[in-house]
Protein backbone atom coordinates (compact mmCIF):
# COMPACT_ATOMS: atom_id res chain seq x y z
CA UNK A 1 0.00 0.00 0.00
CA UNK A 2 1.41 3.36 -1.02
CA UNK A 3 1.58 5.92 1.77
CA UNK A 4 0.90 9.45 0.58
CA UNK A 5 0.00 12.79 2.19
CA UNK A 6 -3.73 12.13 1.88
CA UNK A 7 -3.44 8.82 3.75
CA UNK A 8 -1.33 10.44 6.49
CA UNK A 9 -3.95 13.19 6.87
CA UNK A 10 -6.69 10.58 7.17
CA UNK A 11 -4.77 8.70 9.87
CA UNK A 12 -4.08 11.89 11.81
CA UNK A 13 -7.77 12.88 11.52
CA UNK A 14 -8.95 9.54 12.90
CA UNK A 15 -6.45 9.60 15.77
CA UNK A 16 -7.43 13.19 16.56
CA UNK A 17 -11.13 12.34 16.64
CA UNK A 18 -10.49 9.43 19.00
CA UNK A 19 -8.31 11.66 21.17
CA UNK A 20 -10.98 14.35 21.31
CA UNK A 21 -13.51 11.83 22.61
CA UNK A 22 -11.17 10.17 25.11
CA UNK A 23 -9.46 13.25 26.53
CA UNK A 24 -12.40 15.64 26.53
CA UNK A 25 -10.74 17.93 24.02
CA UNK A 26 -13.21 20.42 22.61
CA UNK A 27 -11.10 22.04 19.90
CA UNK A 28 -10.94 20.38 16.48
CA UNK A 29 -7.77 20.07 14.44
CA UNK A 30 -8.60 23.06 12.27
CA UNK A 31 -9.64 25.45 15.04
CA UNK A 32 -6.92 27.86 16.08
CA UNK A 33 -9.20 30.47 17.62
CA UNK A 34 -7.86 31.65 20.95
CA UNK A 35 -9.96 32.46 23.96
CA UNK A 36 -10.24 36.07 25.04
CA UNK A 37 -8.91 36.16 28.59
CA UNK A 38 -9.20 39.94 29.03
CA UNK A 39 -11.99 39.52 31.61
CA UNK A 40 -9.75 37.41 33.84
CA UNK A 41 -7.61 39.17 36.47
CA UNK A 42 -3.88 39.30 35.80
CA UNK A 43 -1.88 37.07 38.14
CA UNK A 44 0.37 39.23 40.30
CA UNK A 45 3.14 38.14 42.64
CA UNK A 46 1.73 36.86 45.91
CA UNK A 47 2.72 38.23 49.30
CA UNK A 48 1.74 35.28 51.50
CA UNK A 49 4.92 33.35 52.48
CA UNK A 50 2.78 30.21 52.86
CA UNK A 51 1.53 30.35 49.29
CA UNK A 52 2.21 27.66 46.68
CA UNK A 53 1.18 28.64 43.16
CA UNK A 54 0.03 25.97 40.71
CA UNK A 55 0.58 27.05 37.12
CA UNK A 56 -1.49 25.28 34.46
CA UNK A 57 -1.08 25.23 30.69
CA UNK A 58 -2.97 27.33 28.09
CA UNK A 59 -5.45 24.57 27.14
CA UNK A 60 -6.20 23.52 30.72
CA UNK A 61 -9.97 23.03 31.28
CA UNK A 62 -10.86 24.96 28.14
CA UNK A 63 -9.73 22.74 25.27
CA UNK A 64 -8.44 19.80 27.28
CA UNK A 65 -10.33 18.37 30.24
CA UNK A 66 -8.51 15.10 30.92
CA UNK A 67 -4.88 14.06 31.28
CA UNK A 68 -3.27 11.71 28.79
CA UNK A 69 -4.35 8.70 30.89
CA UNK A 70 -7.91 9.92 31.38
CA UNK A 71 -7.81 11.66 34.78
CA UNK A 72 -10.24 14.58 35.04
CA UNK A 73 -8.24 17.80 35.26
CA UNK A 74 -10.59 19.25 37.86
CA UNK A 75 -9.87 16.25 40.08
CA UNK A 76 -6.12 16.55 39.48
CA UNK A 77 -6.03 20.20 40.51
CA UNK A 78 -8.26 19.63 43.54
CA UNK A 79 -6.00 16.78 44.64
CA UNK A 80 -2.83 18.87 44.33
CA UNK A 81 -4.48 21.67 46.31
CA UNK A 82 -5.54 19.18 48.98
CA UNK A 83 -1.94 18.00 49.34
CA UNK A 84 -0.74 21.57 49.80
CA UNK A 85 -3.43 22.31 52.38
CA UNK A 86 -2.68 19.12 54.32
CA UNK A 87 0.76 20.57 55.04
CA UNK A 88 -0.72 23.86 56.22
CA UNK A 89 0.16 25.88 53.12
CA UNK A 90 -2.10 27.92 50.83
CA UNK A 91 -2.65 26.98 47.16
CA UNK A 92 -3.37 29.42 44.33
CA UNK A 93 -3.96 28.50 40.69
CA UNK A 94 -2.88 30.57 37.70
CA UNK A 95 -3.05 29.88 33.97
CA UNK A 96 0.21 30.53 32.13
CA UNK A 97 -0.56 31.62 28.58
CA UNK A 98 2.88 32.52 27.20
CA UNK A 99 4.32 29.00 27.08
CA UNK A 100 3.33 25.33 26.90
CA UNK A 101 6.64 24.05 28.32
CA UNK A 102 6.18 22.53 31.77
CA UNK A 103 9.53 23.84 33.03
CA UNK A 104 8.71 27.43 32.11
CA UNK A 105 5.15 27.06 33.43
CA UNK A 106 6.52 25.85 36.75
CA UNK A 107 9.09 28.65 36.93
CA UNK A 108 6.44 31.28 36.21
CA UNK A 109 4.31 29.81 39.00
CA UNK A 110 7.28 29.91 41.40
CA UNK A 111 8.10 33.52 40.53
CA UNK A 112 4.52 34.59 41.23
CA UNK A 113 4.29 32.56 44.44
CA UNK A 114 4.58 34.32 47.78
CA UNK A 115 6.86 31.52 48.95
CA UNK A 116 8.92 31.22 45.77
CA UNK A 117 7.77 27.62 45.29
CA UNK A 118 5.47 26.68 42.42
CA UNK A 119 4.08 23.68 40.59
CA UNK A 120 3.85 23.48 36.81
CA UNK A 121 1.17 21.31 35.24
CA UNK A 122 0.66 20.68 31.54
CA UNK A 123 -2.83 19.72 30.43
CA UNK A 124 -1.64 16.24 29.44
CA UNK A 125 -0.51 15.67 33.04
CA UNK A 126 3.24 16.26 33.09
CA UNK A 127 4.20 18.08 36.29
CA UNK A 128 7.15 19.79 37.97
CA UNK A 129 7.94 21.39 41.32
CA UNK A 130 9.96 24.55 40.75
CA UNK A 131 11.72 27.28 42.69
CA UNK A 132 11.88 30.94 41.66
CA UNK A 133 15.68 31.26 41.56
CA UNK A 134 16.38 28.14 39.49
CA UNK A 135 16.94 28.00 35.73
CA UNK A 136 13.87 26.97 33.67
CA UNK A 137 15.26 23.52 32.89
CA UNK A 138 16.39 22.97 36.48
CA UNK A 139 13.79 22.06 39.08
CA UNK A 140 13.20 20.53 42.49
CA UNK A 141 11.28 17.52 41.16
CA UNK A 142 10.12 16.51 37.69
CA UNK A 143 7.38 14.01 36.76
CA UNK A 144 7.78 13.50 33.01
CA UNK A 145 5.79 10.31 32.39
CA UNK A 146 2.24 11.64 32.50
CA UNK A 147 0.64 8.28 31.52
CA UNK A 148 1.87 6.79 34.81
CA UNK A 149 0.57 9.57 37.05
CA UNK A 150 -2.19 8.88 39.59
CA UNK A 151 -4.22 11.09 41.90
CA UNK A 152 -2.14 9.80 44.82
CA UNK A 153 1.01 11.04 43.09
CA UNK A 154 -0.54 14.43 42.41
CA UNK A 155 -1.49 14.71 46.10
CA UNK A 156 2.11 13.84 47.00
CA UNK A 157 3.34 16.58 44.64
CA UNK A 158 1.20 19.10 46.51
CA UNK A 159 2.50 17.86 49.86
CA UNK A 160 6.15 17.96 48.75
CA UNK A 161 5.81 21.46 47.33
CA UNK A 162 4.40 22.61 50.68
CA UNK A 163 7.25 20.89 52.53
CA UNK A 164 9.80 22.79 50.43
CA UNK A 165 8.09 25.99 51.57
CA UNK A 166 8.30 24.96 55.23
CA UNK A 167 11.90 23.87 54.93
CA UNK A 168 10.99 20.36 56.05
CA UNK A 169 12.97 17.32 55.02
CA UNK A 170 11.55 16.22 51.67
CA UNK A 171 11.69 12.68 50.37
CA UNK A 172 11.54 12.88 46.55
CA UNK A 173 8.51 11.11 45.12
CA UNK A 174 9.49 7.82 43.58
CA UNK A 175 8.88 7.88 39.86
CA UNK A 176 7.70 4.88 37.89
CA UNK A 177 9.33 3.91 34.64
CA UNK A 178 7.70 1.89 31.90
CA UNK A 179 9.74 1.53 28.68
CA UNK A 180 6.54 0.83 26.74
CA UNK A 181 4.90 4.11 27.68
CA UNK A 182 6.70 6.19 25.06
CA UNK A 183 5.70 3.90 22.21
CA UNK A 184 2.12 3.56 23.41
CA UNK A 185 1.41 7.23 24.05
CA UNK A 186 3.82 9.03 21.71
CA UNK A 187 1.23 10.05 19.11
CA UNK A 188 -1.37 11.05 21.69
CA UNK A 189 1.20 13.08 23.67
CA UNK A 190 2.32 14.88 20.52
CA UNK A 191 -1.23 15.77 19.51
CA UNK A 192 -2.09 17.02 23.00
CA UNK A 193 1.04 19.14 23.13
CA UNK A 194 0.27 20.58 19.69
CA UNK A 195 -3.21 21.53 20.86
CA UNK A 196 -1.82 23.19 23.99
CA UNK A 197 0.85 25.03 22.03
CA UNK A 198 -1.76 26.37 19.60
CA UNK A 199 -3.25 28.28 22.53
CA UNK A 200 0.03 29.95 23.56
CA UNK A 201 -0.17 33.74 23.60
CA UNK A 202 3.27 35.23 24.18
CA UNK A 203 1.84 38.71 24.63
CA UNK A 204 -0.62 37.83 27.40
CA UNK A 205 0.31 37.81 31.07
CA UNK A 206 -0.59 34.88 33.30
CA UNK A 207 -4.09 35.05 34.77
CA UNK A 208 -5.78 33.96 37.96
CA UNK A 209 -7.60 30.67 37.29
CA UNK A 210 -10.71 29.77 39.28
CA UNK A 211 -12.34 27.18 37.01
CA UNK A 212 -11.23 24.12 38.95
The CATH number assigned to the domain holding 118 equals 3.40.50.10150
Using alpha carbons, list the distances in angstroms from residue 91 to 8, 86, 113, 146. 44, 11, 9, 22
Q: What is the pLDDT of residue 152?
A: 97
- Between strands 127-131 and 117-121, the pairing is antiparallel
Q: What is the pLDDT of residue 26?
A: 53
Which residues are registered as beta bridge partners of 90? Answer: 51
Q: What is the pLDDT of residue 201?
A: 94
What digits encode the pLDDT tens for the residues 152-183? 999 999 999 999 999 999 998 987 777 777 77
**How many structural domains is the chain composed of?**
1
Closest listed residue to residue 59, CA positions, set 32, 79, 91, 38: 32
Q: What is the pLDDT of residue 118?
A: 98
CA dist 106 and 115 (Å) reads 13
Q: What is the pLDDT of residue 170?
A: 94
Q: Which residues of the chain have pLDDT under 70?
A: 1-33, 212
Distance of CA 105 to the CA centre of its chain: 8
**What range defines the domain where residue 27 resides?**
1-212
Amino acid sequence: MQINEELVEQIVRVVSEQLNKKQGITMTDHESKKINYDKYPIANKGTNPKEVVIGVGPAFQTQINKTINGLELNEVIKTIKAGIEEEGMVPRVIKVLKTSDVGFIGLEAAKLSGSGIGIGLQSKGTAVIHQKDLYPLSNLELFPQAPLMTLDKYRAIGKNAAKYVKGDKVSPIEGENDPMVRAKYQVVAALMHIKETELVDTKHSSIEWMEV
